[in-house]
Structure formats: C-alpha cells, structure tokens
Amino acid sequence: MMLHPELLRAARTARRPLLLATALLAATACTHLLQAVLLALVLGAVASGDLTGLPPLLAAVLAAVAARALLTRWQRRVAVGAGSAVRVGLRDELLVRLGRTGPARHTDVRSGAVRATLVDGVEGVDAYVSRYLPQFLVTCVLPLPPLVAVTVLEPWAGAVLAPALLLALFAPRWWDRLLARRGERHWGAYEALAADYLEALQGMPALRALGAVGQVRARLAERSDTLHRATVAKLRVSLVDTGITDLAVQGGTVAAVLVACWSAAAGHPAATSTYLVLLLTAECFRPVRDLSREWHSGYLGVSAADGIAALRTAPGGVPDTGHLTAGPGQGPEIRFDDVRFTYPGTGRPALRGVSFTAPAGRTTAIVGPSGAGKSTLVGLLLRHHEPGGGRVLLDGAEVGAHTLGSLRRQIAVVSQHTYLFHDTVAENLRLARPDATDGELRAAARAAGVHDEILALSDGYATVIGERGSTLSGGQRQRLALARALLADAPVLVLDEATSAVDEHREAGIVRELVRAARGRTCLVVAHRLASVRHADRIVVLDGDGRVEAVGDHTALLAADGMYARLVEAGEAA
C-alpha cells in the first residue's frame, strides 16, 4: 500500500481514464459477488431438492460470467490507455527538463543511469498507475460488503473474518520502510550497472586498443553481483510481506469456513445461508489477493520513483521567463557588456568584465589561449548559464528577455563535438528544417564542403550513417553538422571550433564558402587555428585571465604586436 507522491503526481495527468478504469474494476468485482450469491442460491436449491427455479439461476450465473468478461476487457483497454498516457507524458516532461538543464547539469549524473530511469523506471510507473492504483482503490471499499453480509448471516464467522482481513491489509505495512530502503538500494545498483554497460559499449574501441576489456568485464561482473545481492535482499522482505498476507487470507478463510460448518452442523442457518457464508468469505479476500499480485507488478515504479523525482526536479539550467519571440530576419547585433562569470565549485572566474560588440550581419571572431573563456561566451549567449554580472544583449534586448525557444531558434551552433543520429544523411540534415527541399540540402552541403563526399557514399543522401555518424570520418561529421546549421537559416551562426577536424587546406575553402553562404547573418567564430579567422570583419582577443585584450581586424592586431601576433607566430611556427 505504498503511495509515493511522485507516482501520484504522474497519475494526475490521466485522472479521468484512471477513474473510469477503477469504476470498471469495481464493476468487475461486483460480478464476482453477484456470481457468489447466485451460486449459493443454486447450491441451496439443489440441497433442498427444489429444482424448478434452477434454469433461471444458471442463466443468471452465465450472464454474470459474460458480463465480467466484457467488463474485464473494457477495463484493461482503458487502463492500458491511461498507463500509456502517463508513460508518454512523464517521458516528455523528463526530456523537456533535460533539454532545459542542458550542460548545467551536475557532471556526476551518468547517461546510463538517466537512460534506465527514462526507459525502465517509467515502464514501472505505467504498471503501478494502470494496475496497482485502481486495484488499491477497489480494495479500500469492496471487502466491506461481503464482510457485513457474512457478519449478518453468521456473526461468529464475521468475528473471525474481520481480524484476518485487517491483518492481511495492514500487517505487511510494518515492513514498508524496510522495503522502501531495499528498493532504493536495488534501483541504485540497477542504475549503476546500466551506466557501466552503456559506457563500456560506447568506449569499446578505446578498451580494445588499451587491452582493458578484461578489466572492465570484471568490474561489470562485480556490479552484477551487487545487483543480485540487492535483488535477493529486496525479495526477502517482499516474500515476508506476501507470506503474511497469504497466512491471513488462508487462515481467515479456514476459520470462517469452520465456524460456518459448525453452525450448519448444529442446524442453525439454512443451507443457502451456509453456502453464502462460504462463498462470500472467499470474495471478501479476493481484492486483497489481487492487490498483492498487482503490487509486485508495479513495484519497479516505486523503486524508480525517487530517481524520476530527482531527474524531474534536477537543478541547473535557467528559468524560461522571457516574453520576446523574435521571428526570422537579418542578423542582429550581439553585445557583451561587462560580462563576468564563474563556474560553480571553482574559485577562478572564467570571465572578468568582458565587453565587445559583434556587429549585425558581420563576422566576429573570438580567439585566445585555452581556458580564456571563448566557449563560455557562447554558453552565455545561448543561456546555458546566467552571467554573474553584466549583460548579454541580442538586438538591444537582454537574452533573458527572449523565451528560450525563440532565443535558440535564432542561433545555429556548430561545435567541435558534433552529434549525428542513426539515420540517413538527408534526415540528419533535416533536423534543422524538416520541410527543407532536396535542393536546399545540396546547397547547404556544398557550402560546408561535403556535397561531393555525400554523393560518393553508397546511397548518396539516403545513406544510413550509423550511430553518432560512425561510418564517417571526423571531418565529414563536422562538415555535415556545418551543413545542418546552415540549413537552419538562423539569423545568428556560431562556429565553436567547428572546423577543428578538418585539415587546414580544406578549412580555408570551407571558411570562404561559409562567409558567402552566411551573408546577412551575424557570425561568431571561435577558433584556435587563426588561419580560419584572419578574414573576419572583427577579431576579439581574450587573454588567459578571461579579459578582452584587444579588438580589431587581422592587420591592425598584427601591427599592435600583442597576444594576437604571438598566437599567429606560434601557429606559423607549428
């Protein structure tokens, strides 16, 4: 009877179908009671030798059985639909939350654990909501009518039946806290094993290269043993729960039957009354037995509930409190005004009063040594974080004044870490614009310098490129991501080390094509290799302490003989 607040909150999204499923389940249980009464009348008629009313009674029994079959089918259909709605709604909510928290999530949250919660944990919630909750509500009510009827017919039978029913319902609750603790340990062990397996699969090439497959296999075996021990520990408590319930059910039934038989032998009630007591005693415990069965079906949801709650309320991300919803248009001006930022848990500021302007419709490059804060500026523009001080403005309005959806639709980003999905080249490109024509796909691919290589694939744009683009080279993956960003046709294009996997000769050609294709857009280019930014309209140089050292074009910055000149000299020497 454990009712977890997180699971009850999830159930509210399908309140009406769940109430209907509960009502149908109650109606189904009522057919059992009706059948018990009718069978008692049949047996009483047989015992008395009066068979004249037997055919209508048997017909009524068959009608009750048929009605129960129809109600059961209807109830399962409604319950499955309600559970599916809860499951889909909960997964959507969790995915939206993950999308909002983004890179600001704590780094100790592992992908495999999140996958286990999103898939297996939510499946357990489905069983809990669609099967256990309706049965729980029915069990709270339906044992009472047969108990009252038995007590009226045979008070002594009711006197032994009531304590047994209370024992079956409430004695297992003594173990709820222990069962909850064991469930948390079991789910934690399951998440850890799922995370390790996913990590091992993703890192298998590196493990083979290092000869560490055996070492990882041993760690996985240890994780499996931990999960096994946690499962057995949970089952011990769960079996005690089941044993107490079964003992109370069987003991109460036997005691009530013995009392009814003793009373019948003494000649007190009529035969029909004795049969009613016997059959209604069984019906009194039927909801309890059904609840015990459904509990085991939905227990996975209870075990995963805390993980689901933690994922749904995970800290990180920024509040979506903006009101501006800018549409497509020409590239806006981007301005950083005395921006300061320090990552949580670090004492050293990443940015210290950064101020510069990226003119509308022009290309601005951001350069500097590693750790200067270049990618941090991009993260603040996209509102992955809030600045600790200062303002980031897009077309004169602070980025926080834009809704997150509108802000991120205006900015297309290509980073050095690209992600491609197990799908065709065309569908990976159309993630940016599902309605893009084949001609637009090809134009974007040409601008990114990857069109000819796509045509050289086995099926051209219809080639399935594997998970994470595994069938492509690093440079091809990066240029596909560039094409996808160009196809988005956003007014702001951000290239964060977007050509790091491309050789310098090809990089120069790609940059020229990008400058032509991005005409009219505001471009921010973050790069280590300065050959790719020398033609930018404006270059912002960050020093190693997160400050702006200089702003100008390539010629002026070289003449100033500052950090930019030293970076160019170091690149040429390399």
At 516 the pLDDT is: 67
Total-model pTM:
0.73
With cut-offs at 50, 70 and 90, classify the pLDDT of residue 512: low
pLDDT, tens digit, for every residue of 403-437? 888 888 888 888 777 788 888 989 999 987 888 88
Give the DSSP H/E element, type plus range, for residue 132. none
Can you tell me which residue has the tokens 């296999």? 217
Higher pLDDT, 24 or 309: 24
Encode pLDDT of 111-157 as tens digits.
788 888 888 888 888 888 999 899 989 988 888 888 888 888 888 88
3-state secondary structure 89-118: HHHHHHHHHHHHHHHHCCCCCCHHHHHHHH
User: Is a pLDDT exceeding 70 seen at residue 505?
Assistant: no
pLDDT > 70 fraction of the chain, expressed in percent and rounded: 91
What is the third-level CATH fold of 5-312? ABC transporter transmembrane region fold (1.20.1560)
Closest by Cα among 307, 316, 303, 313 to 114: 307
DSSP string covering 172-233, please? GGGGHHHHHHHHHHHHHHHHHHHHHHHHHHHTHHHHHHHT-HHHHHHHHHHHHHHHHHHHHH
For residue 296, give the nearest of 100, 79, 128 by alpha carbon.
Answer: 128
Average pLDDT (448-456) is: 86
d(CA 451, CA 203): 30
**72 vs 520 pLDDT, higher one:** 72
CATH class of the domain at 334-573: alpha beta
- CA gap 246, 285 in Å, rounded: 10
Q: What is the pLDDT of residue 322?
A: 79
Predicted pLDDT of residue 104: 47
pLDDT (mean) for 487-511: 72
pLDDT tens string 189-198: 888 898 888 8
In the Cβ-directed half-sphere of 520, how many Cα atoms lie within 13 Å?
Answer: 8
> pLDDT value at position 102?
61
pLDDT at residue 502 in the model:
63
What digits encode the pLDDT tens for the residues 469-493?
Answer: 878 887 788 888 888 888 888 888 8
User: Any idea where the domains of the chain sit in the sequence?
Assistant: 5-312, 334-573
Average pLDDT, the chain: 83
> pLDDT digit string (tens) for 241-299?
777 777 888 887 788 778 877 776 766 666 677 788 888 888 888 888 888 888 777 77
68-112 per-position pLDDT tens digit: 999 999 999 999 999 999 999 999 888 888 877 765 454 567 778
How would residue 213 be classed by pLDDT, with cut points 50, 70 and 90?
confident
